[in-house]
Structure 1
Amino acid sequence: MRRKKRGGLWWHFVSLVFVIILSFLLLMAILAYLYIRLGNETIQHRNPFPPILTIVLFSLVIGTTITVTVGRKILSPIADLIKAAKEVSTGNFDIHLNESHRVGEISDVAHHFNLMVQELRSIETLRNDFVVNVSHEFKTPIAAIEGYATLLQEDNLSKEEHDEYTGMIIDSARQLSTLSGNILKISKLENQELLTEQTEYRLDEQLRQALLLLESAWAPKQLNLNIDLDELQYYGNEELIMQVWLNLLGNAIKFTPEGGEISVSLRPGDPWISVVISDTGIGMTPQVRKHIFEKFYQGDPARSSEGNGLGLPLVSRIISLSGGTIVVNSEPGQGSTFTIMLPAGSE
């Protein structure tokens, strides 16, 4: 049910000031009348009411004029805020209030309103991108499977064509399976607050194992590996932490050109264990760095077929659940460095 419309804030302000002025003048008139009536018998016969009424009316006109003028100036930013809030409520986030005002509180309100709109705009963009990316990521392999399955129905296919089409169907099915698995995994992790199935194991050996598993990716590119790992026992979820190294190292390999270098270091500490993975790859712009841990965000659209934008969000969530932090430093053309800090506490 629609609320009954009331008078505007400006009219409330003007009415309040008007009532105050009127009350003050009436009080002054009463005091003046009493003074004349009781204190000065000679003035009684001069009929003081016309001058008093004239003063009252003149004061009311002047006071009301000043009130209207000042009220408009003071309440104008509030009216702008109300108008902007209405625009935001309709989904328009391209709103910006003027933050330059003599009244500090009004400037603060405008500033924080602009910050709120900026965050809402980012959330709306992220939500739209999420829907578009999920649809796209599912649609691409499904369309490929459908297309190659249709080609397989043709007569007189050669063995090479048959093998090629079935291979593409298998690859697309694997891509779809991986995407579905990653979505389920990150959904599960986002609703999980504690890690389970934690064991004690050698963290340095796990990093070496991750590099060996990725040998088929870095060996053809003739990448130089700079490995500096201290021997270290770590207590955590071995499977999930392995997922962290595979994602970070896989990205480093993917975005480092042939002949480049990847460095991995592991240092024990108290209370933190430090793992640093760096590369001499293409690097990232500040805009990309800001969003890399968001689901389905891909900073390089040209390489979208090589991933689904879930790797780094998974990494971030696993590190967070492990009680650690992850920080990235990167500049375009200067490579990237990921620093992971894990708690050194044991079972």
Structure 2
Amino acid sequence: MRHQKNKGLWWYFVSLVFIIILVFILISSPLVFLYIHFGNLDAHGRNPFPPVMTIILFSLVIGTTITIMVGRKILSPITGFSNAAKEIASGNFHIHLDESHRVREIREVAHHFNIMVQELRSIETLRNDFVVNVSHEFKTPLAAIEGYATLLQEPNLTRAEHDEYTGMIIDSARQLSSLSGNILKISKLENQEMLTELINYRLDEQIRQALLLLESLWAPKQLLLNLELTELLYYGNEELMLQVWLNLLGNAIKFTPEGGEISVTLQLTDSGISASITDTGIGMTKNVRKHIFEKFYQGDPARSAEGNGLGLPLVSRIVSLSGGTIEVSSEPGLGSTFTIVLPVAT
């Protein structure tokens, strides 16, 4: 295989302009010669060839100089793009190109390039955070399982100690199962652009069903439930929407103290189907409200063993895929209200 030299774009640009100048000279030289000839300049003993050669050499020098200067000016942004692309390929996502070039097309390319780099930087940050968080979330229950399993090997354990350790192992195993299940669900939903398996069903009955499934959580706390559920048909994915109610109601129950109150309303409004879940729990600060839909975020680290920070991000993604919106209003000590608005099937 014959070796082929690598030539830059600037070299091809200079060569192309040089050839154009040369062709122009070859075409114009006979015209100059004819002008000199018919202008009777030769009658005075002047040789026509030196002026022609002078014109050719002068044109070559001036044309090549201009080509080099203009070529470097025009092609320098492309060189910048190439160097920036190499940096990105090596993992450096902090590159920023100058967007103040005089040429509009180059400005636009630089602008879109910077947007691309910003998105790649965000994705890389999210990926790193996801790996760190997943590792941490798995490490905690695994360490608990290992620790309590080691304690079970101790001789002369009492029945109470044995039951306590096995109970902690079971709880940690359930936490792992819940975490892995939620990770799989949210990963699948993040790669979906639309929901499938849509059917018509009673949304008010689904909310009641969710409350019945959670009865073992709210009944011991003697919570007061206020339900104002309008009979409504909804066209959507029944299984995923049930997950929404289970997560929101589960959080309301978890953060509401004994003897508290949970109100659930469902009604048809001008904006669509509106569902609100209000509790009289501990509430949230402004900073917590800003991050509750982020994966693995725990507003109260002391309660990290009770969840994995994926419930609300999962709810947000399901609502978004359903074409709806979710909002939260909350103040510390005054409880929280989650409001979901879903579109009405037409």
The TM-score with structure 1 as length reference comes to 0.78
Please say if 1:315 is aligned against 2:315: yes
**Which residue of structure 1 lines up, in the alignment, with residue 54 of structure 2?**
54
In structure 2, runs of 5+ residues without a counterpart are none
SS in 2 for 1:267: strand
Contact 1:227 1:263 in 2 (8 A): yes
The structure-2 alpha-carbon separation of the partners of 1:263 and 1:87, relative to structure 1 and needing over 3 Å to count, comes to: farther
Q: Distance in 1 between matches of 2:118 and 2:258?
A: 40
- Match of residue 282 from structure 1: 285
Label 1:119 to 1:42 Cα distance change in 2 as closer, same or farther (>3 A).
closer
Report the alpha carbon displacement of residue 332 of structure 1 after superposing the two structures with TM: 9.2
- 1:326 maps to which residue? 325
> Relative to 1, partners in 2 of residues 1:118 and 1:325: Cα closer, same or farther, differing over 3 Å?
same
How far did residue 167 of structure 1 move? 1.9
Q: Tell me the SS of whatever aligns to 1:24.
A: helix
Q: Which amino acid aligns with 2:139?
A: K
- SS of the residue corresponding to residue 29 of structure 2 reads helix
Task: After TM superposition, give the deviation of residue 140 of structure 1 in Å.
Answer: 2.4
Relative to structure 2, which stretch is displaced further, 269-278 or 325-334? 325-334
Matched-pair contact (CA < 8 Å) for 1:88–1:95: yes
Give the number of aligned pairs: 336
Q: Map Cα deviations across residues 114-150 of structure 1 (whole Å, 9 max, x no partner).
A: 1111112222233333333333333322221111010
Amino acid at match of 2:39: N
Counting only pairs closer than 5 Å after superposition, residues 127-206 of structure 1 correspond to structure 2 as 127-186=127-186, 193-195=195-197, 198=199, 200-201=201-202, 203-206=203-206
Cα distance change on mapping 1:205 and 1:61 into 2, 3 Å: same
Change (3 A) 1:269 1:77: same
Give the direction of change, closer, same or farther, for the CA distance of 1:327–1:237 in structure 2 (3 Å limit): closer
Q: How does 1:1-347 map to 2 (within 5 A)?
A: 4-37=4-37, 39-43=38-42, 45-186=45-186, 193-195=195-197, 198=199, 200-201=201-202, 203-208=203-208, 210=210, 213=214, 216=217, 228-251=228-251, 264-269=264-269, 272-277=272-277, 280-284=283-287, 288=291, 292=293, 296-298=295-297, 300=299, 302=301, 304-319=304-319, 323-328=322-327, 338-345=338-345
- Partners of 1:224 and 1:259 within 8 A in 2: yes
**Using a 3 Å threshold, how does the CA distance of structure 1 residues 285 and 52 change in structure 2: closer, same or farther?**
farther
Q: Structure 2 length normalisation: TM-score?
A: 0.78
CA deviations on 1:84-124 (whole Å, 9 max, x unpaired) are 11111222222111111111111111111111111122222
CA RMSD, 1 decimal = 4.0
